[in-house]
Amino acid sequence: MRTALDSGPLRRPLLLPKKMADDDDFQDMDNDDFVDDNEMEDVIEEDPQRPDADDEDDDNVDENFELFDQGKAVPTSEHVTTPFMTKYERARVLGTRALQIAMGAPVMVELEGETDPLEIARKEMKQRRIPIIIRRYLPDGSYEDWPTEQLQLADW
């Protein structure tokens, strides 16, 4: 088989077939590669480390997990971050609100023929009526919650 380097970070060799499937003689067409569902059920065995585990009720919940410190909220009077909405926050808020409107959320402004959810979200932002709170995390693990009504828009 020929080898080539893949684009992964470890640069492991990637094995390539010598010839394409179209070049084969197609003599191996007896479907031996496929396993019947009934045969598959016979193969499934119970896990010896977890005899009480039930296959149908597997929630993928691990009981041995640890909670990270969620930090604490900074009171509104002690905000240390800028009161200006960044272009990234604006893009996220507009996209989230447009999705909400598209999914049937109530519109907070009077419509004047607008049908595009993004245009409606922009109109709500101009009138400061978007009901979304932006959470800004600080380096010490705490966070500030800023309602969009309190943030100033730089280029609107």
Please give the average per-residue pLDDT across 42-59, as a whole number.
59
> How many other C-beta atoms are found inside a 10 Å radius of the C-beta of residue 14?
13
pTM of structure: 0.56
Q: What residue segments make up the domains of the chain, in order of their start?
A: 76-147
Token code pair at residue 107: 């519109």
What are the pLDDT digits (tens) for 17-47? 555 555 555 565 566 666 666 665 655 555 6
Reported confidence tier of residue 138, pLDDT bands at 50, 70, 90: very high
> Which residue in 134, 92, 100 sits closest to 117, CA to CA?
100
What is the per-residue pLDDT for 139? 94
* Poorest-pLDDT segment among 64-78, 95-109, 119-133: 64-78
| Fold classified for 76-147 | Eukaryotic RPB6 RNA polymerase subunit (3.90.940)
Residue 135 DSSP code: E
